[in-house]
Amino acid sequence: MMARLPREPLAARWTLETGLLLARGEREQAATYVQKALFARAGDMQQMLLRLIQMELDADEPDRAQALADLTSRFVELLCMHPYTGHLAQLMPALKRKDTQACMTHIRAMLEALQAPWSPGECLPYDRAGLGRGAPSDMLGGIVREIEESEEYAFLRENADFRALLAQYGKAVYPREAKKGLEPAAPCGRRRQVERRESQGAAECRDYASSPGDEIPKQVLGRQPNVPPKSEKSRLRAGCAAAYD
């Protein structure tokens, strides 16, 4: 099976095309092309770092997982990726060790980050790339539902601050109930998710880097910032944005 997977080319396409543009004296176009390629590959790299964190947690290596989480947080900041990814990286080892205070800090920070504007095109590495605004706020509902349903969060459910946080963000997830002054309906099982592999999401990131639209796709934003699912199969689904009925 491994032998059947496509191999990456020895020379990346962006290096060849950039060389041609520079040879023609089109330096501005070359810079734009490189910035788009950098943005797409930064998305790939943060996916790889998150995968490494999970691999160390599965191998019962918490210190290595935490070191990788710290590295991922610095990477996200330096490469102007979406801040929620850095908090997600920190949340993964915190969940494993059942650190209530740390989990609450990073869950709250992730949810807040999703509601804040994100414009990577204003950062120096991408200021010629013509990137649009990220719009991850529509992922909030899926994240809150996942937190409500995942057994990884069972140890937090007796915590008053955790319940209050879910109630606060539940108003955005269940607007009809909130308008009527009702408590959000309890989740009735996991919603159907569109199953996509991380490799597909990475390909869409690269497609976007060549021809960006008005908004940055969720795949470029990085792994969906929901709670780390229980199984590796769920983690593959979480590589791209989940779609809910």
Residue that the structure tokens 């807040």 belong to: 112
pLDDT confidence of residue 12: 77
Greater confidence (147 vs 132) lies with 147
- For 48, list phi and psi in degrees, rounded to 5: -65, -40
pLDDT interval class at 170 (50, 70, 90): confident
The maximal CA–CA distance of the chain, rounded, in angstroms, is 65
Q: In this model, does residue 221 exceed pLDDT 70?
A: no
Name the average pLDDT for the chain: 76
pLDDT interval class at 86 (50, 70, 90): very high
Q: What is the pTM of this model?
A: 0.70
Structure tokens given for 46 = 């943060």
* β-bridge mates for residue 134, sequence order: 118, 216
| pLDDT tens sequence across 48-77 | 999 999 999 999 999 999 999 999 999 999
* β-bridge mates for residue 216, sequence order: 134
* Alpha helices by DSSP H, 1-117: 13-23, 27-58, 62-78, 83-96, 100-115
Q: In this model, does residue 245 exceed pLDDT 70?
A: no
pLDDT confidence of residue 140: 83
Lowest mean pLDDT of 29-33, 138-142, 153-157, name the range.
138-142
The letter for the amino acid at 140 is L
The CA-based angle 245-239-85, given to 5 degrees, is: 110
- Chain mean position to CA 90: 13
Burial class (CB in 10 A: 0-12, 13-18, 19+), 49: buried
- Mean pLDDT throughout 107-128? 91
Lowest mean pLDDT of 15-24, 157-166, 192-201, 208-217, name the range.
192-201
